[in-house]
Amino acid sequence: MTQIPQSLESAIAQAHTATITALESGYNRLQVELVIPEIALQAQQLAYNFANLFVDEYGSGLKVLFPDTGAAALAKREWGETPFQVTDLGSNRTPMDTRVSQADQFFLVVAPSAVEVSQVEKLCNLAEDRPVVLIIPQLEDVSIVGIGYAARQLRERFLSILESSYYYRPLEDAVVIRTFPGLWQVWRELEGNKFELITEVPKKPLGEVLDRILSGDEENQEVNVKSASLGFFATMKNFLKALNN
C-alpha cells in the first residue's frame, strides 16, 4: 500500500523509486509532480537532490535543464562542480538542438511551465528513446485550461504522452497521491491525524471529478477504505519546514 510521505525527503525517495520502476517498464516521458504551495521556490535544491539519485547510473550522461539561462547559471554557481551537466532549455539565439548531444543519456527538466512547453516538446523529440523526466512541472493549468484548437492539439500531441511516475498533492482535508504503477489514490483526513483511503481511480482526479469523490457523489466509484497515521497538518508542517530551511 502506498505510504503518505512524512517529509520532503521521503517524497523524493518515493519519487525516485517510482521513476526507476516506470523507466524499467518502458516509459521514458515522465513527470514527478509535487503539487505543494511554494514548491517551485525550492526547484534548485530539489533538482540537485533528485539528480544525484541518478548519478551512479548515468554519470556525465545526465543533463539537468532549467527553464532559462539565469536559473541555470545560478544552479551552476551554487552547486559548483557536479558529475552531471547543467544547462537551460535554450532560446531564440540558442535553439534546443544545441542543448542535446549524442553523449546525453538522461534529461531532467526542472520546473517547466506553460511558457516552456514548446521547448520541452522539442527536447522530447530530439531525445528520441532517451528518458526525459520533468520534476515539479507547472503544467496542470495547461492540461485543464485552454479552449480552442491550439490547446487541444497541445494536449493530444504532447501532454498526453507524459506519464506521472509520482504525484503528491495535499489538500485542506485530503491527499491525492500516485506512485507508479499504482492507481491514483484519494485519501481523506480523519480525526487524530489519520487518513482513510476512500477511492482509487485509473486517471488523475481533477476539478469536478475530485470534488465529487470528496463529497461522496462519485457515481459507481469503488470505495476502498484503509487507514494511515499521518494527518494533513502534520504532513504540511514537515514539508513547509523543509522548504523554509
147 domain-assigned: yes
Q: Which three cell numbers stand for residue 96?
A: 534546443
Decide which of 119, 149, 167 is a domain's last residue. Answer: 167
Whether residue 177 sits in one domain with residue 128: no
What pLDDT score was predicted for residue 98?
92
What pLDDT score was predicted for residue 229?
43
What pLDDT score was predicted for residue 215?
87
Nearest CA to 57 out of 109, 111, 108, 124 is that of 108
2 domain-assigned: no
Query: In sequence order, which ranges of 80-231 are alpha helices (DSSP H)?
Result: 117-127, 140-144, 149-157, 207-215
User: Which tens digit of pLDDT belongs to each residue from 170-200?
Assistant: 988 889 999 999 999 999 888 766 788 999 9
Whether residue 57 sits in one domain with residue 14: yes
User: Which tens digit of pLDDT belongs to each residue from 79-109?
Assistant: 999 999 999 998 878 889 999 999 999 999 9
User: Which tens digit of pLDDT belongs to each residue from 145-178?
Assistant: 555 666 667 767 888 899 999 999 998 888 999 9
**Burial class (CB within 10 angstroms; exposed 0-12, middle 13-18, buried 19+) of 167:** buried
- CB of 220 closer than 8 Å to CB of 199: no
pTM for the structure as a whole: 0.86
Decide which of 167, 202, 235 is a domain's last residue. Answer: 167
Whether residue 156 sits in one domain with residue 183: no
